[in-house]
Structure 1
């Protein structure tokens, strides 16, 4: 590589790093507890949990769960069921004054899936983990904050790529892993910065890229959801499961029947969400059922079905586009949710190393007085 090319890559690496480093440090520091969010919540005793019962305790009908939620708020009607992410024995029920509401004044209650007993109203916007999450996701700035952090993530990817380009000619002078301890402090930190950076380069690219993708998720999911609902409402669907002999008598508006029909039409899936007829996510005559896979890898891959509230016919619109699949897989990969606690521990270690890389990069620039670094 020519000296001029090295200077250009050095300029790209320096300024892409400097612009994004403080925000990347914020994301690394807030992301560290988020990796263990489930474990921290469990140890802290935060949230509402289902009481201990025998594993074979039968589950209550979803219609009974809906009735319990309405009894808790007699003036409201149910809009959605959401399955408990960490506890299959819980249902979140969202209610509002009418089904065609904009949901701005909705209420959320937590109901035991076995006893149909209301356990309370969850609070998702308070506590230490909530602060960490908001700082990590949007810095309390909503969608503009997400897109800004996405731009910083793109700068991080640029800094990583340019750093790899600069690393290759630099390492021709030294053996891999060399830290020149007998040299000046700044030189030792330069060697350590380069070593830790190249060791974590693949992980940093994966986490950086998936983080950027996650910042676009809200926009893409809303567009895809609107497209799917419009297709379903316009009748651009195909029948997955035709009405059976029981037909209308068995359905009769039952949300339990809608769930059973959806699971029969999509074996190997589990229910994430059920929308009542007339809500924003369904049609006036159908329950909308959102299903996902039942393994760690497929749990983020969703499938939307409509179930006729009268006869139980199950309909599906067009399949999930590739870019939505990428989005759905990016979040668990970003936080290391695929491999249980060992993978989370590895993610945390790499996060700590990345903090050292970012901090050492700032130190090297500051000690050089803002001039170009020379190995």
Structure 2
């Protein structure tokens, strides 16, 4: 690599790192508790648990489940019926003032066996939600998500440029060398480079999947416009039904069409994931990967008859697969611990990069600036 190209890569690495580092530190700090969000919710007493019953206990009729939730909030309409991938003992019923409302929502957790109300969790409250909102959109909605997506792209640029610079820098040193006899800045430079190259694959995966997640709202809107629009085209212009058919029958129709899958979500007519004329029943598989992918089945909201079912487009599949990769929540506690350790190492890389940049600025004026690997504008010895 020529000195000119080395300087260019160093410039890319320095400024892409400096622009995104503070926000990446925030994401790493907020992402750490999110890796263990289930465990934290149990610790804080926020987790919902249904009473223990035999696994073959019959499930309550879904129309009864809906009625029980609506009785708690008679002035609201149901938007969604959903359940956790790893717990089918209760349903979440989400209600709002109108089918398409995004605020003032209420949630009721209903036992799937007895149709008894278990809890009414406050949406948008609690420590885990605070961390989640900071991590996802900085409490700024779609603009916040897109801004963090831009920061994620800068992170990817910083990682790639750091790898390019790492090779020529390490020609004179053995891998993993930390020169403890040198100055504090040099020790931090070596540690920064070492941790940076060790975590490079993980940081690229988490950074890239994080960028994909910031585009989720736009992907869903495009899906509604193109895919869902095509699936419901023949209903265009028809009056919106005032009487809805049975949710239980609608779900049974979807299960008959996809017998090897389980219900993940039922979107009610007029809500974000359905049309004014349909129940959208989203089915998922039972394996670690297929449980993250869903297949929509549209059911006529008046007749409870299945009208269409299609595979999700590739971009929504990419989104759904990227989410467990981003948070490391598809391999149980061992993988969560690995994700947490790599997150902490990345925090050290980001923090040491800032320190090295500040230390360079404080250096004696006139010191030649030489490119270093894997750190923002710190000088290699």
- Residue 172 of structure 1 aligns to a residue whose secondary structure is helix
Q: Structure 1 regions of 5+ residues with no counterpart?
A: 237-251
Count of aligned pairs between the two proteins: 359
CA contact (8 A) 2:60 2:114 kept: yes
Between the aligned partners of 2:267 and 2:326, the Cα distance in structure 1 is 29
Task: Decide which moves more: 360-369 or 66-75.
Answer: 66-75
CA contact (8 A) 2:105 2:123 kept: no
Between the aligned partners of 1:359 and 1:95, the Cα distance in structure 2 is 43
Equivalent position to 1:339, from 323, 331, 356: 331
Is 1:302 aligned with 2:301? Answer: no
Q: Structure 2 regions of 5+ residues with no counterpart?
A: 236-243, 363-368, 371-378
Between the aligned partners of 2:182 and 2:193, the Cα distance in structure 1 is 15
> Structure 2 length as normaliser, TM-score?
0.87
Task: Decide which moves more: 151-160 or 77-86.
Answer: 77-86
- Residue 89 of structure 1 aligns to a residue whose secondary structure is strand
1:85 Cα deviation after fit:
4.8
Match of 1:159 in 2: 158
Between the aligned partners of 1:107 and 1:215, the Cα distance in structure 2 is 25
Match of 1:275 in 2: 267
CA contact (8 A) 2:295 2:310 kept: no
Match of 1:66 in 2: 66
The CA deviation string for residues 250-277 of structure 1, in whole angstroms up to 9 with x for no partner, is xx92211211221121132211211344
Between the aligned partners of 1:18 and 1:77, the Cα distance in structure 2 is 48
Between the aligned partners of 1:27 and 1:325, the Cα distance in structure 2 is 24
The CA deviation string for residues 183-226 of structure 1, in whole angstroms up to 9 with x for no partner, is 22211211111111111110110011111111111111122133
Is 1:327 aligned with 2:319? Answer: yes
Match of 2:117 in 1: 118
Is 1:14 aligned with 2:20? Answer: no
Between the aligned partners of 1:41 and 1:85, the Cα distance in structure 2 is 17
The structure, 1 or 2, with the larger RCO (C-alpha pairs under 8 Å, 6+ apart) is: 2
Between the aligned partners of 1:67 and 1:116, the Cα distance in structure 2 is 9
Note the 1:176-325 alignment, pairs <5 A.
Answer: 176-235=175-234, 253-277=245-269, 279=271, 281-283=273-275, 285-309=277-301, 312-325=304-317
1:123–1:204 distance in 2 versus 1, CA, 3 Å: same
Match of 2:29 in 1: 29
CA contact (8 A) 1:157 1:208 kept: yes
CA contact (8 A) 2:297 2:310 kept: no
Between the aligned partners of 1:159 and 1:96, the Cα distance in structure 2 is 43
Between the aligned partners of 2:39 and 2:109, the Cα distance in structure 1 is 20
CA contact (8 A) 1:47 1:122 kept: no
1:161 Cα deviation after fit:
0.5
1:203–1:235 distance in 2 versus 1, CA, 3 Å: same
1:47 Cα deviation after fit:
4.0
